[in-house]
């Protein structure tokens, strides 16, 4: 999932470089959503993994 976040961020940078502001804004918002979903899933995985080990 973090891979897709980086891909959308790179797409946003390239679109912004060429002047496509709308596409860049859309790609940045998708990248933000994916990043926060990744963070939530990573934290949940660490919490449940540490509980399971006990």
**pLDDT tens by residue, 18-45:** 988 888 889 889 989 999 999 999 999 9
Question: Residue 4 above 90 pLDDT?
Answer: no
- Predicted confidence at residue 48, as pLDDT, reads 92
Distance CA 12, CA 27 (A): 5
Q: Which residues of 23-37 are buried (b: 16+ CB within 10 A; e: fewer)?
A: ebeebbebbeebbee
The CA–CA distances, whole Å, from 3 to 6, 9, 47, 49 equal 5, 10, 22, 22
């Amino acid at each position: 999932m973090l891979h897709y976040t980086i891909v959308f961020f790179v797409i946003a940078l390239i679109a912004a470089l060429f002047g496509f502001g709308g596409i860049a804004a859309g790609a940045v918002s998708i990248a933000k959503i994916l990043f926060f979903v990744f963070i939530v899933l990573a934290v949940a995985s660490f919490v449940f993994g540490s509980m399971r080990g006990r």
